[in-house]
A = this chain, B = another copy of it.
Amino acid sequence: MRPSDVFDILRDGQPRTRAQLAEITGLARSTITARLDALMRVGLVVPFGGVSTGGRPPSLLAFNPGARVVAGVDLGASHARAAIADLDGRILVERGTQLDIALGPERVLGWVEEVVRELLAEQGRDVSELAAIGIGLPGPVEHSTGRAINPPIMPGWDRYDVPGHVQQAFAVPVLVDNDVNIMALGEQHSQLRDVADLVFIKVGTGIGAGIISGGALQRGAQGTAGDLGHVFVARGADVTCRCGNRGCLEAIAAVPAVAAAIRAAGVDVPADQDVVALVRGGDRVAMTAVRQAGRDLGEVLAALVNLVNPSVIVIGGALAAAGEGLLAGIREVVYQRSLPLATEHLHITTSRAGERAGVLGAAALAIGHVLAPESIDRACGVPPPTAGALI
């Protein structure tokens, strides 16, 4: 028995009658009923009312996103954010704080455990209702093992067994991925569910890309795919990057570089992150600098568009909040430099999810695991492998 067949149909959220489901699957109504029973026992499907059309009203059945919850955790270089979401990816509660990733895995994951417990309690959810946890880390991650591999800005985390640690507190699946990958997932889940080729660009202290191609996250051989920040850009040929190389995009288009450019033009920028406020305030110099950063970014994105051929590029991170200037600069270059074939149906937009992209994506990663057909069948008590008759 594969309840997942029926569940996959209902997953879009639309309620359906047993007759409709039988029609769609080609199975008999009695079979559908049996599978629905299993799904309803677990709570994943619930009745949904029903309107009579002259006879006994059909009972509509629908996916119940509230059956369980997942946790989405977004850990950045200096911030941490955690959320509890339902199985539809809707955030129920969240909490963020300033937290230095360099404090090391024990202390940071300790915060995670504490906050997840608190958020669950706030929602009146028992720990047993938690189905999975997704975590984004600011560095290359080996997704299969959940370990960060040679992360530049995460001292103490190298090859640390994140899932192992977290599972001591919560006995659920723990999925770990790079933070920008997570954000790409978040953007896809929150507004662009049917987009199979999406690239998310994060412009903050650094610059990175999360690449979803052919519907799947591209992680690369070492989990470092999407590292835009250190691609060479001619205009920066004389600028030395923190990585030691010259000409890195990050060294001329990330927030610190833009702030420096504004300062060089004589405008006072107290802290790097004040760039956003300046632009919003209409400061000409700041706006020009951001637009130039957009052009620089556009150089690299033009290459990316030719290489990956996405249908949507979403710009996120701190600098994306600085209005349309960045986007305009990017568009200016991309639409000129990339092949017409690739840009013909290309959309470039700013993030809608904003600061929530990370936790949204982490939750989406967790949900993807929880609602995978095998997980559904297992939850319904169906033995997963080529199951023969039991003894």
Q: CB within 8 Å of B: which residues of A? A: 2, 5, 25-28, 31, 140, 149-150, 196-197, 209, 211, 213-214, 216, 218-228, 230-232, 234, 243, 245, 299-300, 302-304, 306-311, 336-339, 341-342, 344-346, 385-386, 388
Do A344 and B222 touch across chains, with their CB atoms under 8 A apart?
yes
The A interface, classified by DSSP as helix, strand, loop or mixed, is loop
List the B residue with the shortest CB-CB distance to A312: B221
Copies in the complex: 2
List the B residue with the shortest CB-CB distance to A223: B309
Do B27 and A306 touch across chains, with their CB atoms under 8 A apart?
no
Q: Which residues in B have their C-beta under 8 angstroms from that of A28?
A: 388
Q: Report Cα–Cα, A221/B300, bound state, in Å.
A: 19
List the B residue with the shortest CB-CB distance to A31: B388
Do B222 and A341 touch across chains, with their CB atoms under 8 A apart?
yes
State the 6 A-B residue pairs at the shortest beta-carbon distance, nearest first.
A220-B309, A221-B311, A225-B309, A197-B221, A234-B234, A227-B306
Q: Which residues in B have their C-beta under 8 angstroms from that of A220?
A: 197, 213, 308-310, 342
Do B309 and A232 touch across chains, with their CB atoms under 8 A apart?
no
Do B386 and A337 touch across chains, with their CB atoms under 8 A apart?
no
Do A214 and B224 touch across chains, with their CB atoms under 8 A apart?
no
**Which of B2, B150, B197, B386 contacts A27, CB < 8 Å?**
B386
Q: Report Cα–Cα, A187/B342, bound state, in Å.
A: 26
Q: Report Cα–Cα, A363/B197, bound state, in Å.
A: 27
Given contacts A299-B232, A344-B222, A345-B221, contact A227 B307 (CB under 8 A): yes
Do B218 and A342 touch across chains, with their CB atoms under 8 A apart?
no
Q: Report Cα–Cα, A227/B243, bound state, in Å.
A: 28
**8 pairs of residues in contact across A and B, judged by CB atoms under 8 Å:** A2-B386, A211-B307, A213-B218, A213-B220, A222-B341, A227-B341, A243-B339, A245-B336
Q: Report Cα–Cα, A225/B211, bound state, in Å.
A: 13
Q: Report Cα–Cα, A149/B309, bound state, in Å.
A: 14
Do B27 and A218 touch across chains, with their CB atoms under 8 A apart?
no
Q: Which residues in B have their C-beta under 8 angstroms from that of A221?
A: 196-197, 309-311, 345-346
Distance from A138 Cβ to chain B, minimum over Cβ atoms (Å) = 14
Do B302 and A225 touch across chains, with their CB atoms under 8 A apart?
no
Do A307 and B27 touch across chains, with their CB atoms under 8 A apart?
no
- Output the residue of A227, A228, A336 with the most chain B CB within 10 A: A227
Q: Report Cα–Cα, A306/B228, bound state, in Å.
A: 7
- Output the residue of A221, A222, A304 with the most chain B CB within 10 A: A221
Distance from A178 Cβ to chain B, minimum over Cβ atoms (Å) = 11
Do B339 and A388 touch across chains, with their CB atoms under 8 A apart?
no
Distance from A181 Cβ to chain B, minimum over Cβ atoms (Å) = 12
Q: Which residues in B have their C-beta under 8 angstroms from that of A299?
A: 232
Q: Report Cα–Cα, A27/B232, bound state, in Å.
A: 55
List the B residue with the shortest CB-CB distance to A344: B222
Do A307 and B307 touch across chains, with their CB atoms under 8 A apart?
yes
Q: Report Cα–Cα, A106/B214, bound state, in Å.
A: 31
Do B222 and A214 touch across chains, with their CB atoms under 8 A apart?
no
Distance from A142 Cβ to chain B, minimum over Cβ atoms (Å) = 12
Do B339 and A306 touch across chains, with their CB atoms under 8 A apart?
no
List the B residue with the shortest CB-CB distance to A231: B303
Q: Which residues in B have their C-beta under 8 angstroms from that of A310?
A: 220-221
Q: Which residues in B have their C-beta under 8 angstroms from that of A216?
A: 214, 216
**Which of B2, B228, B386 contacts A307, CB < 8 Å?**
B228
Q: Which residues in B have their C-beta under 8 angstroms from that of A309?
A: 219-227
Distance from A319 Cβ to chain B, minimum over Cβ atoms (Å) = 20
Distance from A32 Cβ to chain B, minimum over Cβ atoms (Å) = 11
Do A140 and B341 touch across chains, with their CB atoms under 8 A apart?
yes
Q: Which residues in B have their C-beta under 8 angstroms from that of A385?
A: 26
